[in-house]
């Protein structure tokens, strides 16, 4: 019997569910808060995409309240509309997957059993996942085929087990700098390997190959080569005729029937408040907003928020800890031919280090992480702004500024690295609702407390020091690095942990709510920990896994 599936959101956690439900013949209704932008609507306009960020809500319309800690230990909240970090990542069909850089790494077997492998960490709420890497592996492989991952599998000491020998698409075109990084890493005894990307190196159906624009991160793809939920999944699902997308539909309440089931999803629209009735409800609104929606959906049966009678919704929010670094490649240190190859704008760096996925100090092992290498973002306005100061901090202008810009754009290039390690879940990193601040619709906004764990800083410092050695061996100048304690807004997970015990988790192993029979959550909210990689590949894979579980359950209904 065909059923109606209501999906809240349309990004990486929603796309696989929309795709699989539609292909199985079920009716899928997608409620997307943002607009329905198509491929032809996107361009490489730096002003709109990164300077003004028109693809995210205005903070005065949809703020968050961020909590900060005073020296005496007390916490106080301040709206980020008054200044502060912006946690919106793209409000439109396909969500933030439209703007990802597509750095795709699988989580490794150890990531699913951190506590049993390394034990407790002071101040952290580390637990094992209720599923294993072996449970997820078939879906990692499915993402490679369906979303499209380009790269080359190279054996190294932390290579995760694979059911296939290589990626389905050949590596993307690489810049000359990749070979220099390989040699430099080898010289200092570090394994450097190619980085897989969710970007097509050859045509796939209606999606075209990458045209090497040099603008990936923060920009939607104009050729659909990037494996966004919109381009890779939703467009194909629409061809079944079983999908209805309702854009500009902000879901604010999930109504239950008093018997442990959702019956309606209420949403704000330009035409007033409306609702959708369905048999199954799938929420994938990104971690913060997913927790907020459940907390907003309180009623007599769930006075603390939907599926929150154990008060676990919003708890143990995780991001990605780590840091950044880089150095300058001075073209005067190379031949003219080499400099021309280094300055080629479109080709990828695509180099990564997994060498430090596990660290050992004083005989004790600890989880490490991953490092991705890349060129400085291509945005010319941003580059110019960062160069407007003299070394003494005074403003640079006139001919001196012109000459500095000419040198910066023509005589050198900045190579960067980004370090990704586990953000330890803890009691002071969570989502609640603010009692005073409301959004433009009159709904309570999310209040975020975002405390990090010092363990993460210590691991990050070890890894950045090793990365500096690579840049030093390559001959880079002005090498720097820093460890961040602020969470990266585009890498958020947790808040609705899955687990086997309903007392300390929100969802079961198949991401169905313990307390709500027809509610599934398929974004990164279910993750107890995040691994030392970017989350998108695992979100995709887990959503495909959960989609299979939903289909199996629907098939059992007479």
Domain boundaries, the chain: 4-556
Residue 484: C-alpha distances to residues 83, 286, 452, 458, 465 (Å): 19, 22, 10, 11, 14
Indicate the class that CATH gives domain 4-556.
alpha beta
Tell me if 7 sits within 8 A of 518, measured CB to CB. no
Q: What is the pLDDT of residue 391?
A: 85
pLDDT at site 250? 98
Distance CA 250, CA 91 (A): 10
Q: What pLDDT, on a 0 to 100 scale, did the predictor assign at position 417? A: 98
Q: What is the pLDDT of residue 557?
A: 79
Contact 100, 535 (CB under 8 A): no
Report the distance separating Cα 378 and Cα 409, nearest Å.
Answer: 10
**Two tokens, residue 383:** 């580059």
The bridge status of strand 262-269 relative to strand 369-375 is: unpaired
How high is the pLDDT of residue 526?
98
Q: What is the CA radius of gyration of the chain?
A: 23
Concatenated DSSP letters for 478-525? EEEEEEE-SPPTTS-EEES-B-S-TTT-SB-TTSBBSS-TTEEE-SGG
Residues of the chain with pLDDT under 50: none
pLDDT, residue 51, reads: 86
Separation CA 483–CA 478 (nearest Å):
17
Q: What is the pLDDT of residue 1?
A: 83
Q: What is the model's pLDDT at position 558?
A: 63
Helical H segments across 85-243, by residue range: 114-118, 133-143, 177-187, 229, 235-238
Query: Judging by beta carbons within 10 Å of its beta carbon (0-12, 13-18, 19+), is residue 404 exposed, middle or buried?
Result: middle
Rounded to an integer, what distance in angstroms lies between the CA atom of residue 156 and that of residue 418?
20
Task: Concatenate the DSSP letters of all residues of 533-547 into one string.
Answer: S-SHHHHHHHHHHHH
Pairing of strands 444-450, 477-484: unpaired
Structure pTM?
A: 0.97
86-110 burial code (b ≥16 CB/10 A, e <16): ebbbbbbbbbbbbbbbbbbbbbbbb
């Amino acid at each position: 019997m065909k059923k109606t599936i209501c999906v809240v959101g349309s990004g990486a956690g929603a796309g696989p569910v929309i795709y699989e439900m539609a292909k199985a013949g079920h009716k899928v209704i997608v409620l997307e808060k943002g607009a329905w932008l198509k491929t032809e609507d996107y361009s490489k306009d730096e002003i709109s995409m990164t300077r003004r960020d028109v693809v995210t809500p205005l903070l005065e319309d949809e703020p968050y309240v961020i909590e900060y800690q005073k020296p005496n230990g007390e916490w106080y909240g301040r709206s980020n509309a008054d200044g502060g970090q912006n946690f919106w990542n793209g409000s439109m069909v396909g969500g933030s997957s439209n703007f990802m850089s597509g750095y795709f790494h699988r989580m490794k077997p150890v990531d699913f059993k951190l506590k049993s492998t390394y034990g407790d960490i002071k101040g952290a709420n580390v637990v094992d996942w209720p599923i294993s890497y072996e449970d997820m592996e078939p879906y990692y492989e499915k993402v490679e085929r369906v979303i499209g991952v380009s790269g080359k599998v190279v054996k190294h000491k932390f290579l995760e087990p694979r059911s296939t020998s290589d990626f389905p698409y050949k590596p993307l075109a690489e810049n000359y700098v990749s070979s220099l990084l390989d040699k430099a890493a080898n010289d200092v005894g570090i394994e450097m390997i190619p980085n897989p990307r969710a970007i097509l190196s050859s045509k796939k159906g209606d999606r075209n190959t990458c045209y090497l624009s040099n603008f990936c991160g923060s920009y939607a793809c104009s050729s659909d080569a990037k494996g966004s939920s919109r381009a890779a999944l939703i467009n194909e699902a629409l061809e079944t005729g079983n999908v209805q997308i309702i854009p500009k539909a902000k879901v604010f309440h999930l109504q239950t029937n008093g018997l442990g089931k959702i019956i309606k999803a209420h949403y704000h629209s330009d035409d007033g408040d409306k609702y959708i009735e369905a048999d199954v409800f799938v929420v994938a609104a990104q971690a913060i907003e997913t927790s907020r929606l459940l907390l907003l959906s309180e009623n007599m049966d769930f006075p603390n928020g939907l599926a929150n009678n154990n008060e676990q919704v919003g708890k143990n929010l995780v991001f990605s800890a780590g840091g950044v670094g880089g150095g300058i490649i001075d073209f005067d240190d190379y031949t003219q031919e080499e400099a021309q190859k280094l300055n080629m704008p479109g080709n990828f760096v695509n180099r990564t280090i997994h060498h430090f996925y596990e660290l050992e100090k004083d005989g004790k092992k600890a989880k490490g992480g991953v490092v991705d290498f890349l060129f400085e973002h291509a945005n010319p306005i941003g580059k110019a702004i960062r160069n407007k100061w003299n070394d003494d901090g005074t403003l640079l202008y006139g001919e001196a500024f012109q000459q500095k810009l000419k040198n910066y754009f023509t005589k050198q290039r900045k190579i960067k690295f980004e370090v990704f390690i586990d953000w330890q879940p803890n009691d002071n990193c969570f989502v609640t609702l603010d009692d005073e601040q409301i959004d433009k619709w009159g709904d309570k906004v999310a209040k975020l407390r975002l405390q990090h764990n010092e363990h993460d800083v210590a691991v990050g410092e070890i890894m950045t020091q090793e990365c500096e050695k690579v840049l030093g061996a390559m001959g880079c100048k002005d090498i720097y690095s820093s460890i961040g304690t602020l969470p990266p807004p585009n890498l958020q997970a947790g808040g609705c942990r899955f687990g086997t015990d309903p007392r300390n988790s929100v969802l079961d192993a198949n991401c169905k709510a313990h307390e709500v029979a027809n509610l599934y959550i398929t974004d990164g909210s279910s993750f107890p920990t995040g691994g030392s990689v970017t989350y998108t590949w695992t979100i995709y894979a887990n959503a495909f896994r959960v989609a299979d579980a939903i289909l199996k359950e629907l098939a059992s209904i007479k």
